[in-house]
Amino acid sequence: MSNASAPIIANTLSGRVRGVTIDGVDRFLGVPYAAAPVGPRRFELPQPHAPWSGEWDATAFGPTAPYQLRDFPTLDLVPLVGSGWVQGDECLNLNIWTPGVRDAAGLPVMVFIHGGAWVGGAGSAPAQDGTSFARNGVVCVTINYRLGIEGFLPIPGVPTNLGLRDMIAALEWVRGNIAGFGGNPDNVTVFGESAGAMSIADLVVSPLAKGLFRRAILQSGHGSMVRSVRTMRRVVDRIAKVLDVRADAAGFRSASLQAGLDAQDVVQAPTSGLDMRGENGRDPAYGLSKFLPVHGDDVIPVPPLKALAKGAGAEVDLLIGTNAEEMNLYFVPTGVKAKLGRFLAWFLMSRTERGALGILRRYGLGQRGETGGATLTRALTDLVFRWPARAYAQAHQGRTHFYEMDWRSPAMGGELGACHAVDIPFVFNTLATAAGPKGILGPTVPLQALADRIHGIWIDFARDGSAPWPAYDADTRQVYRLAEGRAGPDTDFPIAATWRE
C-alpha cells in the first residue's frame, strides 16, 4: 500500500506548486506550462501562464486535451492512452516525478511525449507513470499537448503545428523551472512513442527547438510522417464541410470542441474516402491518421530527412528503434491479418501507395500459403515504422544507436507478438498496468528482468548518452535486440530498394 506523506512545495516562475510524496517519490501533477488555450487563445500560439498567488494544487492529474477513445473490445488500451477527455480549460499541463525537491540537484531529466496518432492520448496514462524513473535518480516529466483539429490542422488564419509548438513551450518551461525539482536543465532527454516519437523526430531538426534537449529517444517513430500544407488542406475542407462552417479561423472557432471531436471521427474513419496521398503518391501515415504535422513553416521548414542531410540535429544524441511486429496491434484484434484476402490487401495498400501490387509481391503475396492480411501486416510494419526509422537513423549525422523490441506478447493466443506500443510498460517499468485478461502484455505480468534491463538502458542513455552496443552506421548497421540482449547486423528489407521519401 502506498504511503502518502504530507504535501510538499516547489517553486516555479509562475508561483508555488503543492505536490505530494508517495513512497519516497515527490510528484507534482497537472502543473500548467502555458495559458489555457480557450476563448481568445483558442487556435493561438501557446502563451506563458499568468502568475498565481498561493499554491497551485498539483496533487492530482489535470485536464487533458480533448480526445475521444475509440472502442477496442478485444484489448484494454486505457493504460497506454488514458481513458479519454478529462474536461477543463488548463489542458496544457505537465506531470513531474522527482527523487526529491529538498535534497536532489543536477539530476538528468527525461520528458515523455505520448502517442495517439495526433488525435488521442494523455500524459496521465497509467503505463506512463514516472515513479520508477524517479526512484532511479531521474526527474521524469510527461506532458499534454493540443490534438486533432486544435493542434494539427493547418486552418487558414491559424498558426500551423500548434501541437508541436505546445511541446516546445513545455520544453521551454522545463528549461526554466526544472532545477526547482532537482533536475539539470542542461541534461534533458526527450523521449516518446508513436506519434510522440514522430513529433520528436520533427523537433530534432526544428530551429525553434534547438538547444532545448541534449538527447532524444524515438520509440516506433521517425521523421517521414509529415505532410505538406497543400495535402492537409483536404482535411481542413472536409471537416469544415462536416461541421458546416467556413474553412477558416472564424469558422472553426464557431464550432464547439465536442462537435470538432465528432467531425474528427467522421473524417478519421476508413470509410471517409479521403485520399491523403501527397505529391509523391504516398500517404506517409498509411491510413492510420488524417492528422499529421506539416512542413514548410518555421517549426519544420523542410521535411526532416532533408534537414538531417544538411546537418540539422547533429548535436543531439539519438536512440531510436522499432518493434518487430508493429502492425499486429492494428490488424490482429480486428481480424484483418487472419481473414483479409489478397484482393482486399492490394486494394487497401493501393489507397496509400502507388505500385501496391509490386510491394505486396516483394513481401510474398500468394507465395507462402498465407492470407493477404498477413502479407499486408508484414509489409506495412516495414513501410510505416521499421524502414523509415532506419532511414532517419542513417540520415542523422550525430551519434545514433538503434534497437529492436523483439519480445512477443502472449496476448490473443500469442498472435499480438512484438506489436506497436508493447514497449511502453517495459520502458517505464510499469508492467502491472498493462497485464490482465485484455492487457497488451497478456494475462500475467511478464518477467521483471527484461523491464529492468530496458528501463536501465533508457536511464543510462539519458544520464550520459551511453548505450551497451555500437553506434548505427551505413556500413555495420548494428541493431540491439532488447529481448535477446545482444547486438548484430540489421535485417534486410524487401522495400529498401524502392522506398522513396
Looking at the annotation, which residues are catalytic? 194, 326, 420
Residue identified by cell 527523487 is 99
CB 141 within 8 A of CB 133: no
Alpha-helix runs per DSSP H in 136-182: 148-152, 162-177
Cell of 89: 480549460
Question: What does the DSSP 8-state code read for residue 445?
Answer: P
Contacts of 437 (CB under 8 A, 6+ apart): 443
Cell of 232: 492537409
> What are phi and psi for residue 409, nearest 5 degrees?
-65, 140
CB 181 within 8 A of CB 140: no
Question: Which residues is 18 bridged to in the sheet?
Answer: 9, 57
Residue identified by cell 492494428 is 330
Question: Which residues is 487 bridged to in the sheet?
Answer: 480
Compute the 3-state secondary structure of the chain and give helix, strand, coil in percent, each to the nearest 5: 35, 20, 45
β-strand pairing of 486-489 with 478-481: antiparallel
Alpha-helix runs per DSSP H in 276-402: 304-309, 328-331, 336-339, 342-350, 356-362, 372-380, 387-395
Cell of 181: 525539482
Closest CA to 202 of 139, 296, 288, 280: 296
Q: Cα separation of 203 and 304, whole Å?
A: 9
The helix (H) or strand (E) run that includes residue 219 is strand 215-219
β-strand pairing of 15-22 with 55-57: parallel
CA 283 to chain centre: 19
Closest CA to 204 of 292, 282, 123, 319: 319
Q: Cα separation of 83 and 69, whole Å?
A: 7
What b/e string do you get for 30-54 counting C-beta neighbours within 10 Å, with b at 16 or more? bbbbbbbbeeeebbeebeebeeeee
Cell of 398: 550525430
CB 168 within 8 A of CB 200: no
Supply the angle between the helices 257-268 and 229-243 in degrees, to the nearest 10. 120
Q: Cα separation of 501 and 499, whole Å?
A: 7
